[in-house]
Amino acid sequence: MRLVNLRFVYATLIGLVLAGIVHIAAVLAIPRLSETDAVSRARTSENLDHPQPIYTVATGDEPSPPEAWLPIPDPAVAVGVCAYDLADGPMRVSARTGPLSLSLAAHARRGAFYAVTDQAAVRGALDLVILTRAQYDEALADDDENDPSRDVRIVAPDNRGVVVVRVIAGLPSQRPGANAAVQAVSCTTDMPADESAGKPAAR
């Protein structure tokens, strides 16, 4: 009987150690395997030229539409996402500043890697280009020295991710404007001028 007891204690200890390993592995695997995270959910918008509205603020009697998946959204902030896949080419996000404050944040699976607000805009325009390291080097090499580009170039840690557009409506009367301002942002895939996109990858 004592032998069984001792064995039972050993088995329990082994079980607890296993539980620790399983716990750590599961927590680390959740972001990788999740199908409900923002990057996976936003995939459907990949070939749109404008952000997919994921939270449009309520205007008048119209409540927020059911496409909102954010758990506790800010009721005064309109949110849209553009999904990108850098394998297709660099992602260009262009926003024109308006009366409402706007912010752009680039998220990959690990979290946000860059954020900028409309206060950084040059002459009312904010151009954010998200690229891979190879595409960045290529863009630098192609730059015209006499006419430097005004793009904000960001190297992404991953090929896939989302750009989140947030527009704050300070007053209820600004809410339709905030929803429209999210839609007015354009997200396009930059096509390389000469079809040499494959070259840096082969290097």
Q: Which residues bind other proteins (CB under 8 A)?
A: 4-5, 7-8, 10-12, 14-23, 25-28, 30-31, 34, 36-38, 41, 54, 58, 63, 69-72, 74-77, 79, 81, 101, 103, 105, 107-117, 119, 157, 162, 164, 166, 168-172
Q: Which is nearer to other proteins, 118 or 138 (CB)?
A: 118
Q: Which is nearer to other proteins, 15 or 65 (CB)?
A: 15
The distance of closest approach from Cβ of residue 143 to other proteins in the complex, given in angstroms and rounded to an integer, is: 25
Structure tokens at 121: 């805009």
SS3 category, 168: strand
For tokens 């952000």, the residue is: 51
Amino acid at 202: A
Q: Which is nearer to other proteins, 11 or 191 (CB)?
A: 11
Measured distance CA(49)–CA(187) in Å, rounded: 5
Residues 6+ apart with CB under 8 A from 39: 83, 107, 108, 109, 160, 161, 162
* Phi, psi (rounded to 5 degrees) for 88: -85, -10
The distance of closest approach from Cβ of residue 46 to other proteins in the complex, given in angstroms and rounded to an integer, is: 17
Q: Which is nearer to other proteins, 46 or 89 (CB)?
A: 46
Q: Give bridge partners of residue 155 from the DSSP assignment.
A: 131
The distance of closest approach from Cβ of residue 140 to other proteins in the complex, given in angstroms and rounded to an integer, is: 23
